[in-house]
């Protein structure tokens, strides 16, 4: 459990440094916690298996990694599209002003 907390803290720190957004960093960890909680609920309540093996907690590392990677890809795509839109808008303004 300590390693999961350390991994989450590291991911939050890296995400805050890279994206400069505490909200996005906390949403990554919140999404991971909610998915683990849902998995535990399905395992215990729906399938009626009384124990939740430790190996299932290892999926937390995978979920944190995939969630963080998806956020980085999404954020980089967002920045590229924003720059592309600004470039097109600047070209349009330049064309209108030269006429």
Within a domain: 60: yes
Give me the domain span that covers residue 63.
2-72
pLDDT of 14-36, one tens digit each?
A: 999 998 989 988 888 898 889 88
pTM: 0.69
Distance CA 96, CA 80 (A): 24
**Does 83 fall in a domain?**
no
Indicate whether 10 belongs to any domain. Answer: yes
Whether 8 and 64 have beta carbons less than 8 Å apart is answered as yes
Burial of 61 (C-beta count, 10 Å sphere; 0-12/13-18/19+): middle
78 domain residue, yes or no: no
Return the pLDDT at 33: 86
Is 63 inside any structural domain? yes
Question: Based on the structure, what is the number of domains in the chain?
Answer: 1
Looking at residue 51, what is its pLDDT?
84
């Amino acid at each position: 459990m300590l390693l999961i907390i350390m991994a989450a803290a590291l991911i939050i720190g890296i995400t805050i440094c890279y994206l400069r957004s505490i909200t996005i960093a906390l949403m990554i960890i919140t999404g991971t916690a909610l998915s683990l909680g849902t998995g535990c609920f399905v395992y215990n309540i729906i399938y009626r298996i009384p124990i939740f093996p430790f190996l299932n907690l290892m999926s937390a590392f995978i979920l944190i990694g995939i969630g963080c990677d998806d956020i980085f890809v999404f954020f980089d795509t967002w920045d590229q599209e924003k720059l592309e839109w600004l470039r097109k808008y600047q070209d349009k303004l330049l064309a209108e002003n030269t006429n």
